[in-house]
Structure 1
Amino acid sequence: MSATASAAAGERAEYRVWALSGIPEVRQGDDIAKLIASAEPGLADGDVVIVTSKIVSKAEGRLMRADDREAAIDAETVRVVARRGTLRIVENRQGLVMAAAGVDASNTPAGTVLLLPEDPDASARAIRAGLREILGVNVGVIVTDTFGRPWRSGLTDVAIGAAGVRVLDDLRGGTDAYGNPLSATIVATADELAAAGDLVKGKAAGRPVAVVRGLPHVVDPGTADDAEEGARALVRRAQDDMFRLGTSEAIREAVTQRRTVRAFTDAPVDPGAVRRAVVAAVTAPAPHHTTPWRFVLLESEESRVRLLDAMRDAWIADLRRDGKSEESIAKRIRRGDVLRQAPYLIVPCLVMDGSHSYGDPRRDGAEREMFVVAMGAGVQNLLVALAGERLGSAWVSSTMFCRDVVREVLGLPAGWDPMGVVAVGRPAEEPRPRPERDAGAFVEVR
């Protein structure tokens, strides 16, 4: 199989790819490089050899007894990314995110499964070195496996191991044919080569090795394989992965990762992020089809200082009436530093518009409690959404103890009840790990 395209200078760009015949059934201890050299002694400098990981795994003894494939997947899993029924997308021991951790029960004896090579890059380096020793040629080697992909139907082969191959082609800093700067273009060359090889190898044709010829520029002319990062360079780092979790997993993690943050950096808060969080907040359940939430956003330093000063004065007056000492008062007032240090404040307010009046203290009390519960649900939505924007928060009750002062300073309607204040900002440090709570301690079943 060959592919052609028009080169910029008018010359024909071309490469050729073919599958090798004559590779026998591979068993533990077989030398993959010798098998390839026997099947294709005509390999040349600059060729790229595409090797299916399955034969590498067999040669390296990665076949294991496993009556329960799910248990084998568990053993190879580092992190569950997404789960739907019995299908699991996971991060495996090699750092690859894929279905079933790469555990393969096809084309293996009953009661066994095949695991991926323990270090696919090392496997590729060994094959490359073997071909250099046997045939005296400098080739690139790619070890491949079959992956599904987000947003795309169907499977394709990708590189999970590589040696002597430019796995990524970074075009940033260059220009396109129209002179436009390329600012984000990094080509996954190794994956493109893997897919090209798969077109001729097939999935069930018994041809596990292919050769690509005509692209010598992607092959490293040197021999210092040990210094290469290999196909691991293709794996996106956790901090760069915008889609690290499946949908339900992301929702659960967003809830559990919402933490109270009391120390913030000086980085400004994006008002758009806060408004997106408010949109999430007002999806909370509420009684009688009402909308009992209002959020006052204190985006200017002047508004924050004016409110906090007034609240501080009211608090000091309350503490003095309680007979507290000036030393005790000063200590208590310092608790408000979390609000003064935050670059952004939100005052959630409860409005009772649409509530029912029964003229009965018991039922009127229950009516207000319904609205207060809805307020709490709205604030929780807000805090979780802020966490999703990578913003830390702390919900502090202080405005509830001086509602008249808050209404006056902020010019709020008489019917707006401040329900605390939320400090918002970029966390100054990672929160300490929080142990998972046993749900059984909070559940009674009847």
Structure 2
Amino acid sequence: MTSSSVASSAPSFRVWALGGIPEVRAGDDLAKLIAAAEPGLVDGDVLLVTSKIVSKAEGRIVEAADREAAIDAETVRVVARRGPLRIVENRQGLVMAAAGVDASNTPAGTVLLLPEDPDASARAVRDGLRDALGVDVGVVVTDTFGRPWRNGLTDVAIGAAGVRVLDDLRGGTDAHGNPLGATVVATADELAAAGDLVKGKAEGLPVAVVRGLSHVVASDDEPGARELVRSAADDMFRLGTSEAVREAMTLRRTVREFSDEPVDPGAVRRAVAAAVTAPAPHHTTPWRFVLLESAESRTRLLDAMREAWIEDLRRDGKSEESIAKRVRRGDVLRNAPYLVVPCLVMDGSHSYGDERRDTAEREMFVVAAGAGVQNFLVALAGERLGSAWVSSTMFCRPVVREVLSLPSSWDPLGAVAVGHAVGVARERAVREAEAFLTVR
């Protein structure tokens, strides 16, 4: 076999930018403009269309003397902020700079918003080219993104029609026979980047054609580019800087119903590592966390606590029916697959021999321990674990210390039920910060 025959059999494709597309205005038919610029399109071609001309054709130009206000309107969630730059999740579900609001290549005093539904926009161009030229092509609507951990910009797919946006290779093998367990190729993004090489950023060439990759062109039923957006549950990097910390605080909810899914002990240990960064008096470390990872240890503790509680309730004169109801309400700990008992230790505290100062000293340590528990709960939320901080161990500390073989100097501060929440947490009641402020 000659070298030329080897070269001719190697996979290849061609990509070129279309010239002759005029300035696009609201109401223009993009499919007709593209068909006029390239009447020689064939089945299996892929059109890469810059989102900017899609937005212009769809009338997504808005008056906005203040671009920041337009960004606010398009923002669902702020992911990170540094100075004036904001990385946000926009109404299309895309995480990007400035919500995709663009003030370039648009008249002064206006901004350009992304298409309302980029997948629908791609379908309209695909259908229009089928009507105009009788061809079956794929269409990808592209926009420019920066990326975490990487310098520079590249085009990615934000809308698609008739294109296999993802190529799932899981279950196959590589050239050496090794199983592929996590390989899902973002084909639509690769196409978008290829088109950007010939369209450029400032050449006025908003459409490119890829020929020779007809295997990526699919039916109308193929899901669009929304398939490329990672779900919140699968996004390991959803939380980031100060805005993300506030997001974690919001995610922290009291969970009272847990699934059977096991808890990763490593995640709990990472949450403890966050907990012990809390402030504390006199450079002390007043936190200890007892991890109940075995079902036997959890049951033994909870059974002993229940008996102690029942005895207390009987001494209070409660009826057996009332006692049974109260005990059932405490089952949130019993239903959790993992328990943590945070404890306060007073090592390093000062003794003043004065009741007022000694009381204040202990209160400082209690506050520090509470800060550690709050850190712990928020870190669990960041690990996508639900939790419920229940005070019950504080009412039977001797029992808890005996069952868990803890030093007499350790004071349990409740128990934290940990697990994966069943269902979606209810919306938290809005608390206006102003209601909790006093300014002098």
TM-score normalised per structure 1: 0.90
> Counterpart amino acid of 1:134?
A
Question: What residue in structure 2 maps to residue 79 of structure 1?
Answer: 77
Aligned-residue offset at 1:73: 2.1
Q: Quick one: distance in 1 between partners of 2:136 and 2:307?
A: 79
1:365 aligns with 2:376: no
* Alignment match of 1:283 (pick from 270, 277, 280): 277
Q: Which moves more between the two structures, 279-288 or 389-398?
A: 389-398
> Counterpart amino acid of 2:277?
T
Question: What residue in structure 2 maps to residue 215 of structure 1?
Answer: 213
Q: Deviations over 1:39-96 (max 9, x none)?
A: 2233333222222122222222222222222222223233333333322222333332
Q: Which moves more between the two structures, 365-374 or 411-420?
A: 411-420
Q: Deviations over 1:9-40 (max 9, x none)?
A: 98232222222222222222333223223322
In structure 1, list runs of 5 or more residues that go unmatched.
Answer: none
Aligned-residue offset at 1:397: 2.2
Q: Quick one: distance in 2 between partners of 1:131 and 1:92?
A: 29
Partner SS state of residue 237, structure 2: coil
> Counterpart amino acid of 1:305?
T
1:169 aligns with 2:167: yes
Q: Deviations over 1:219-252 (max 9, x none)?
A: 23xxx63x33222222223332222343222211
Question: What residue in structure 2 maps to residue 438 of structure 1?
Answer: 432
Q: Quick one: distance in 1 between partners of 2:320 and 2:188?
A: 70
Q: Quick one: distance in 2 between partners of 1:69 and 1:238?
A: 28
Decide whether aligned partners of structure 1 residues 18 and 307 sit closer, same or farther in structure 2, where only a CA change above 3 A counts.
closer
* Alignment match of 2:232 (pick from 238, 244, 247): 238
For residues 71-110 of structure 1, the aligned pairs below 5 Å read 71-110=69-108
Q: Which moves more between the two structures, 284-293 or 391-400?
A: 391-400
Decide whether aligned partners of structure 1 residues 177 and 350 sit closer, same or farther in structure 2, where only a CA change above 3 A counts.
same
Partner SS state of residue 260, structure 1: coil
* Alignment match of 1:319 (pick from 280, 289, 313): 313
Partner SS state of residue 312, structure 1: helix
1:422 aligns with 2:422: no
> Counterpart amino acid of 1:218?
V
Decide whether aligned partners of structure 1 residues 11 and 314 sit closer, same or farther in structure 2, where only a CA change above 3 A counts.
same
Q: Quick one: distance in 2 between partners of 1:313 and 1:129?
A: 71
* Alignment match of 1:127 (pick from 125, 128, 133): 125
* Alignment match of 1:409 (pick from 394, 403, 416): 403
Partner SS state of residue 80, structure 1: strand
Question: What residue in structure 1 maps to residue 261 of structure 2?
Answer: 267
Q: Which moves more between the two structures, 9-18 or 365-374?
A: 9-18
Q: Quick one: distance in 2 between partners of 1:19 and 1:9?
A: 25
TM-score normalised per structure 2: 0.91
Contact 1:30–1:59 (8 Å) recurs in 2: yes
Question: What residue in structure 2 maps to residue 37 of structure 1?
Answer: 35
Question: What percentage of residue pairs aligned between the two structures are identical?
Answer: 82
Question: What residue in structure 2 maps to residue 388 of structure 1?
Answer: 382
Aligned-residue offset at 1:199: 0.9
Contact 1:149–1:155 (8 Å) recurs in 2: yes
Aligned-residue offset at 1:7: 11
Contact 1:83–1:246 (8 Å) recurs in 2: no
Question: What residue in structure 2 maps to residue 192 of structure 1?
Answer: 190
For residues 336-351 of structure 1, the aligned pairs below 5 Å read 336-351=330-345
Q: How well do the aligned residues superpose, as a CA RMSD in angstroms?
A: 2.5
For residues 8-87 of structure 1, the aligned pairs below 5 Å read 11-87=9-85
Q: Quick one: distance in 2 between partners of 1:167 and 1:205?
A: 27
In structure 2, list runs of 5 or more residues that go unmatched.
Answer: none
Contact 1:6–1:13 (8 Å) recurs in 2: no
Partner SS state of residue 190, structure 2: helix
* Alignment match of 1:300 (pick from 277, 282, 294): 294
